[in-house]
Amino acid sequence: MSTKTLLVKSVCRVTASGATDALDLEPGVNVIVGEKDTGKSRWLDTISFLLGDTDPPEKGLGPEVAAKYDTATLQLSVGGEEIAVQRRWKEQGAKGKVFANGEGMSSADFGEYVQRKLDIPTVRYPKGSPVSGFTWPLLSWRELFRHVYREERFWGDLADKQLPKVQHACLLQFVGAADKMYPKERQEAVNERQNLTVLQARKEQFDGVLQQAAKDLIPDPAINTAPTLDAIDMGVQRLRAEVEQLRQRRQAVLAQVIAGRPADQPQLVDTALADRRVDLSVRRERDRAEFEKVGGRLQELRSYHEAVKAELGRLKRADTAGDLLAALKVTQCPVCDRKVTPARGPDCYLCRHPVAGPGEGEHAGAKRRIAFEVEQLEGEEAELNELVGRLEREQAAITGRVRELDAELAEVETRLRPVRTAFVALIPPEVAATDTQIGQTEEKVAQLLRLRQVVLQRDELSADIDRLRAKVESLKGDVDAEAAKVPFEQLSDALSDGINEYLNLLNQGDKARWTHGNVRLDLSETSFKIRVGEKWWTSVGNTSFSIMLLGYHYALLKLSGRDGYNYPGLALIDFPVTFADGMTIADKENYLIEPFVTLFRSRPTFQLVVCGRSFENLQGVHRIALSTVWQQNQADGSAQPEGIGSEDGEGGADELPPPPPGD
């Protein structure tokens, strides 16, 4: 599908008084000529400002234009669709907005709007290394426009104030490869690769801390080398076996103590008394749990009871108020405010409708409904009173049982105290030492089990890393397969051929105009290089460098409207008075532009607007001549320019106000 091209049909500026300053442009080559300070550059600045410039109007248009005019309008044709673009920088709340067919939007939104109209896909590109941690910014319309508008002061690079990485992204966009090189999947793959790197670093750090902590906190031979799950399980089994052995030893020692007591000594263990203590403790805990349950239920019922009582009180007050208000009569006429004298009879003395008898009418119905609700709530209140009383009695009974159990437990504890004292006196120190060993060993088991959970977390990290690595490889494979289809060599040929074709056309008139050999623009996946012969393109002189930049614009314009390419078909070029080496270009303007005229004859799918000093006798162009020189002390007024001519430079004259300084 051929990309749509953008055609500027007219541009105008309007003052607060309604005075209009306008230029009409044509497809193909348009030249705006005039001496210094006739406002040529400001026309291109106006077009740039209308096409979404984010600078304030004082900077984008220049302070003189921004002060003199209130609005500016651009009539565009995008693929045959007419679009009116306007900026209203002096209107309240509209200074930073761009209006497209009356719809206001921000400059960024307008850029996306233009790209949609031109069928140029929106992409995000890696500003640094594709695997860096930087976010991928949007390749905006204004970045692309830097390659469209060659300002008078920027003749030192492909685009003004633009990093090589952004220039590379713009070139990929123009040749139709950006959406293939920078699909959303590639950004997702880069993000996932970054996550993978973070996760791998986290696991590595986790392993280091785990190894050191395991050795320092749990000095067990099972994990002397590394804490693995199997090693931890074996260590737990071994320690539990040690605990069992210690308990058996302790039991044997206690059995020897009991068996070796003197015959005249009382029995050390009263089994019945011990069982009694256990039974009392169990019953006490059960009753306490029941007490908590009853207390919670009682609290709920009391809250509900209070709510029912409050509702019942409100209904009774409403019934009483209804009886009082029903007796009120109309004593004054609501229309004329005069006293009303009641008349006797079956009809109402005010509305003349029959008067309801006792127990009839709306009031009687409402009273019956209230009486029903009161009856229901009174029944519910009585039921709640019964339930609350029952639970209070149950709670009191539980409290009594708990007191009795506490008393029995105290008695049992008193009877067991002498037995405990005698038993403790007979226990050898070996039992205490064994208990200590059992506690220490069980703590080691608990530590190993906690360590086992940590190792499981490490294994989860490993599983996450493997899943993420598989996802990255899958995304990378799909993206690389798509990127491999981009014919970089053919795209490089298209750009290089366009530049060299421009240089060939220059040399048709004089072979001395370009003597540096052919130009090669190599476009790759990650960068681009431009060579002149065997040297870098920056090695040529300033004039030759500027000529090569014109060749670059020629190559881009040649892409306009061609299948698979995304160049919008517009170029704005503002010639400097002199090139950087001091050579004037007044005598070079024609032959520098003639190749574009030739291109337009064979491919009428673009528009070029050029500002210069003369372009005398240049054929095949739409010539717009400005003659009035703006002066600092000149007041606003109308002026007569030299004229807006046809292709041969001849045509009628339009009245234009004097433009502000431009060159």
Residue-wise pLDDT tens digits, 283-337: 888 888 888 888 888 888 888 889 988 988 888 888 787 777 665 666 777 777 7
Q: Look at residue 3 and tell me whether its pLDDT is greater than 60.
A: yes
Q: Look at residue 49 and tell me whether its pLDDT is greater than 90.
A: yes
Q: What is the mean pLDDT of residues 83-110?
A: 93
Rg from Cα positions in the chain: 48
Q: Look at residue 636 and tell me whether its pLDDT is greater than 70.
A: no
User: Among 2-11, 21-30, 455-464, 624-633, where is mean pLDDT lowest?
Assistant: 624-633
Quickly list H helices, 427-541: 429-483, 488-509
Q: State the Cα–Cα distance between residues 309 and 312, nearest whole angstrom.
A: 5
Closest CA to 68 of 15, 18, 21, 17: 15
- Tens of pLDDT along 523-556? 998 889 999 988 888 888 888 898 999 999 999 9
Q: Look at residue 127 and tell me whether its pLDDT is greater than 80.
A: no
- Looking at residue 74, its pLDDT comes to 96
Q: Residue 575 half-sphere exposure, CB side, CA atoms within 13 Å?
A: 29
Report the percent of the chain where pLDDT is more than 70. 78
- Looking at residue 187, its pLDDT comes to 64
Specify which of 130-139, 173-182, 368-377, 490-499 reaches the highest per-range mean pLDDT: 490-499
- Looking at residue 650, its pLDDT comes to 34
pTM for the model stands at 0.60
Q: Which residue has the higher pLDDT, 423 or 375?
A: 375
pLDDT band at 133 (very low <50, low <70, confident <90, very high): low
Please give the mean pLDDT across all residues of the chain: 80
Q: What is the mean pLDDT of residues 194-205?
A: 76
Q: State the Cα–Cα distance between residues 549 and 535, nearest whole angstrom.
A: 16
Closest CA to 218 of 437, 445, 453, 456: 445
Q: State the Cα–Cα distance between residues 528 and 550, nearest whole angstrom.
A: 18
- Looking at residue 25, its pLDDT comes to 95
Q: What is the mean pLDDT of residues 50-69?
A: 91
Contact 626, 37 (CB under 8 A): no
Strand partners, 78: 6, 81
Quickly list H helices, 218-340: 229-259, 271-326
Q: State the Cα–Cα distance between residues 177 and 335, nearest whole angstrom.
A: 83
Report the percent of the chain where pLDDT is more than 90. 28
- Looking at residue 141, its pLDDT comes to 93
Decide the pairing of beta strands 97-100 and 519-523: unpaired
Q: What is the mean pLDDT of residues 460-482?
A: 73
Closest CA to 268 of 410, 416, 411, 414: 416
Q: Look at residue 366 and tell me whether its pLDDT is greater than 60.
A: yes
Q: Look at residue 88 and tell me whether its pLDDT is greater than 70.
A: yes
Contact 628, 635 (CB under 8 A): no
- Looking at residue 82, its pLDDT comes to 94
582 Cβ neighbours under 8 A, 6+ residues apart: none
pLDDT band at 89 (very low <50, low <70, confident <90, very high): very high
- Tens of pLDDT along 647-662? 333 333 333 333 333 4
Give the CA angle between residues 495, 501, 504 to the nearest 5°.
145
Sheet holding 535-536, edge to edge: 519-523, 528-532, 535-536
- Looking at residue 225, its pLDDT comes to 62
User: Among 201-205, 305-309, 511-515, where is mean pLDDT lowest?
Assistant: 201-205
Q: What is the mean pLDDT of residues 49-61?
A: 91
Q: What is the mean pLDDT of residues 342-355?
A: 65
Integer CA distances (angstroms), 190 to 122, 196, 471, in order = 19, 10, 11
pLDDT band at 149 (very low <50, low <70, confident <90, very high): very high
Q: Look at residue 42 and tell me whether its pLDDT is greater than 80.
A: yes
- Looking at residue 655, its pLDDT comes to 33
